[in-house]
């Protein structure tokens, strides 16, 4: 299966099996907004729970928080979002489509880079072992031209954005002859900055004063509560505050399903430390966060770090954890060493001291912050892309199976009486009623057992528990393993322990603590 096919299949699987639906679909949907169905909500809750417990339960110095989505408007002035949280956009007058000017330019760069790569590969084939790639890249006229054009785009875009000279960016789009993918024309509007925050107002009467924003990140709720949590929790530095919650961004280029949404959820940690120790903590969290991903059993090669070369003005180190999605390596999580930028700004704008008094040194200072920020929905997509498999089984049939980590699986076990008579459904019901207090289960007596197994494979249920005629006399059942399809006879009294051991969150957390 090629990557494009895989992605299409994951998207349609999500709809067919109740993981993700387009929002308000009966009204033709809403662009880049999605709803989670019966299986999606369970999977998403489990991913969130894994993150939450890894942060606030495994780490004694991390405390949780749930701040409101609405915040005082000054928050966003202080954080820089009112002035700087924007994307440069451009419209095509013929197709009426809106694009991010920087994305149009980046796509053009990708084309140039592919052309340069093609030239290099042709030369490699021609020269064989004696090929010196570095030399070729600096001497071959065509390759040099492509690489210079890429650098020219980088420099012009950077200068245009930094100086606010958006005319330069439009001129560059025209100079490169970039056309609208829909109309095919170069009939562009000027480039304008477009703030990504959604605004609303608090009072019934609209007035500038009351203008509110839907938060575009959860981090600011943590910064404004830093003193509240530190004092009420009597915590000493270093310590962290963890939060998950909905955020809203008016993304201009929303695409790739739930990869880029207008309403999504973040899981963020702000870790407060002593100035000067931040790079050590940054290295710690960089490693720790990758471990969190790998404990789920995803292949190591599917992940990579992407260190930022160009840093935001407030950061002194930044890295993305990228995953190899079917459309290439893309960011799933960002780790940033944010210095004391945010707390200093909030101190300045609020006039309230946001300092920590260190009883050991008798010093008072604004802590430095290391942030880890992951999108829950992007992690959801990653989890499905990594889990989706089609396998040939006996009889030339193909089964679709989601090889989800059992702790994340929406349903832990299906209870399946072989037939709808002879007391088997009653015994199934009894097992279900006994185990439902501890596990999310599914009980079904319709259709052949083979069909029922396939449906459970498709939603990633790790165990199917089948009750047959021998079960009644022997108090035992057959337990089928999703990944191997192996079947084992076990006593009914063993089921609880097996499910706890194999599907419980604690086994996953223990694994995380050991790697």
Taking CB atoms, the residue at the shortest distance from ligand ATP is 375
Site string for ligand ATP, 304-333 (x = CB under 6 A): ---------------------------xxx
Among 35, 94, 154, 251, binds ligand ATP (CB under 6 A): 251
**Least Å from the CB of residue 265 to ligand ATP:** 8
In angstroms, how far apart are the furthest CA atoms of the chain?
83
Question: What residues are paired with 195 via a beta bridge?
Answer: 86
The label of the residue with tokens 């959860």 reads 218
Residues 294/365, Cβ–Cβ less than 8 Å: no
Told to check if 102 binds ligand ATP by CB under 6 A, we report no
Among 377, 457, 468, 476, binds ligand ATP (CB under 6 A): 377
Told to check if 264 binds ligand ATP by CB under 6 A, we report yes
Told to check if 260 binds ligand ATP by CB under 6 A, we report yes
* Nearest one of 247, 197, 195 to 222, comparing CA atoms: 247
Residues 75/224, Cβ–Cβ less than 8 Å: yes
Told to check if 67 binds ligand ATP by CB under 6 A, we report no
Cα–Cα distance, 116 to 5 (Å, whole number):
27
Cα–Cα distance, 84 to 394 (Å, whole number):
58
Coil, strand or helix at 459: coil
447: left (phi over 0), alpha (psi -120 to 50) or beta: left
Helix ranges restricted to H, 225-296: 226-233, 278-294
* Pairing label, strands 239-248, 62-64: parallel
**Least Å from the CB of residue 96 to ligand ATP:** 23
Return the ∠ at Cα 370 (arms to 367 and 371), rounded to 5°. Answer: 125
Nearer to ligand ATP, 5 or 106 (CB): 106
Could you give the angle at which helices 376-387 and 38-56 cross, rounded to 10 degrees?
A: 110
Write the burial class of residue 408 (CB in 10 Å: 0-12 exposed, 13-18 middle, 19+ buried). Answer: buried
With CB under 6 A as the rule, give the number of residues binding ligand ATP: 16
Cα–Cα distance, 435 to 494 (Å, whole number):
11
Nearer to ligand ATP, 261 or 407 (CB): 261
Cα–Cα distance, 355 to 258 (Å, whole number):
39
User: Phi and psi at residue 399, in whole multiples of 5°?
Assistant: -110, 140
Nearer to ligand ATP, 102 or 340 (CB): 102
Nearer to ligand ATP, 217 or 468 (CB): 217
Q: How far is CA 260 from CA 256, 389, 399, in A?
A: 7, 24, 30
Residues sharing a CB contact under 8 Å with residue 318, sequence separation 6 or more, in sequence order = 307, 308, 311, 312, 334, 335, 336, 337
Side-chain-facing half-sphere of 359: CA atoms under 13 Å? 3
**Least Å from the CB of residue 319 to ligand ATP:** 11
**Least Å from the CB of residue 272 to ligand ATP:** 19
Told to check if 34 binds ligand ATP by CB under 6 A, we report no
- Chain-centroid distance of CA 252 in Å reads 19
Nearer to ligand ATP, 278 or 457 (CB): 278
Told to check if 104 binds ligand ATP by CB under 6 A, we report no
Return the ∠ at Cα 417 (arms to 413 and 419), rounded to 5°. Answer: 150
**Least Å from the CB of residue 378 to ligand ATP:** 4
* Nearest one of 186, 33, 110 to 102, comparing CA atoms: 110
Residue range at the interface with ligand ATP (CB under 6 A); choices 48-56, 370-378, 441-449, 465-473? 370-378
**Least Å from the CB of residue 245 to ligand ATP:** 12
Among 201, 350, 373, 400, binds ligand ATP (CB under 6 A): 373
Nearer to ligand ATP, 331 or 445 (CB): 331
Nearer to ligand ATP, 274 or 291 (CB): 291
Site string for ligand ATP, 206-235 (x = CB under 6 A): -----------x------------------
Among 90, 161, 191, 374, binds ligand ATP (CB under 6 A): 374
Told to check if 266 binds ligand ATP by CB under 6 A, we report yes
Nearer to ligand ATP, 55 or 332 (CB): 332
**Least Å from the CB of residue 371 to ligand ATP:** 8
Told to check if 100 binds ligand ATP by CB under 6 A, we report no
Residue range at the interface with ligand ATP (CB under 6 A); choices 78-86, 375-383, 421-429, 501-509? 375-383
**Least Å from the CB of residue 311 to ligand ATP:** 13
Residue range at the interface with ligand ATP (CB under 6 A); choices 77-85, 269-277, 289-297, 372-380? 372-380
Interface residues with ligand ATP (CB under 6 A) are 217, 249, 251, 260-261, 264, 266, 331-334, 373-375, 377-378
């Amino acid at each position: 299966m090629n990557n494009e096919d895989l992605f299409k299949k994951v998207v349609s699987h999500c709809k067919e099996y109740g993981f993700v639906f387009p929002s308000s679909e009966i009204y033709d949907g809403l662009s880049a907004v999605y709803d989670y169905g019966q299986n999606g909500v369970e999977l998403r809750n489990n991913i969130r729970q894994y993150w939450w417990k890894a942060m606030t339960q495994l780490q004694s110095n991390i405390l949780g928080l749930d701040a409101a989505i609405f915040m005082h408007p000054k928050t966003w002035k202080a954080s820089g979002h009112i002035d700087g949280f924007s994307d440069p956009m451009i419209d095509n007058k013929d197709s009426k489509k809106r694009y991010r000017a920087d994305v149009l330019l980046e796509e053009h760069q990708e084309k140039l880079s592919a052309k340069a790569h093609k030239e290099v590969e042709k030369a490699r084939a021609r020269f064989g072992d004696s090929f010196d790639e570095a030399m070729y890249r600096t001497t071959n006229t065509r390759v040099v031209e492509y690489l210079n054009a890429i650098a020219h785009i980088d420099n012009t875009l950077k200068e245009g954005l930094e100086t606010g000279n958006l005319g330069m960016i439009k001129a560059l789009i025209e100079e490169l002859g970039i056309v609208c993918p829909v109309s095919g024309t170069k009939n562009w509007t000027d480039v304008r900055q477009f703030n990504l925050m959604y605004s609303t107002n608090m009072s019934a009467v609209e007035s500038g004063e009351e203008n509110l924003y839907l938060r575009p990140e959860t981090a600011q709720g943590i910064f404004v509560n830093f003193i509240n949590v530190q004092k009420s929790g009597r915590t000493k530095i270093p310590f962290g505050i963890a939060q998950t919650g909905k955020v809203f961004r008016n993304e201009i280029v929303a695409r790739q399903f739930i990869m880029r949404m207008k309403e999504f959820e973040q899981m963020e940690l702000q870790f407060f430390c002593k100035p000067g120790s931040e790079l050590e903590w940054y290295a710690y969290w960089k490693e720790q966060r990758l471990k969190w991903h790998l404990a789920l059993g995803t292949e190591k090669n599917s992940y990579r770090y992407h260190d930022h070369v160009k840093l935001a003005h407030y950061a002194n180190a930044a890295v993305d954890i990228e995953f190899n999605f079917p459309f290439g390596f893309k960011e799933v999580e960002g780790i940033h060493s944010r210095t004391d930028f945010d707390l200093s700004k909030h101190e300045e704008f609020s006039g309230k001291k946001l300092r920590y008094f260190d009883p050991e040194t008798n010093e008072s200072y604004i802590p430095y912050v290391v942030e880890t920020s992951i999108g829950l929905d992007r992690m959801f997509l990653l989890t499905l892309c990594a889990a989706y498999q089609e396998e040939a089984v006996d009889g030339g049939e193909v089964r679709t199976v989601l090889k989800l980590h059992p702790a994340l699986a929406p349903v832990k076990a299906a209870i399946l009486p072989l037939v709808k008579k002879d007391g088997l459904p009653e015994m199934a019901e009894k097992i279900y009623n006994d185990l439902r207090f501890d596990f999310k289960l599914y009980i079904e007596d319709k259709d052949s057992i083979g069909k029922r197994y396939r449906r459970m494979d498709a939603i990633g249920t790790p165990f199917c528990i089948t009750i047959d005629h021998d079960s009644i006399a022997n108090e035992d059942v057959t337990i089928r393993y999703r990944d191997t399809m192996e079947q084992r006879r076990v006593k009914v009294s063993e089921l609880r322990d097996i499910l706890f051991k194999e599907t419980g969150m604690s086994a996953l957390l223990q694994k995380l603590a050991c790697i």
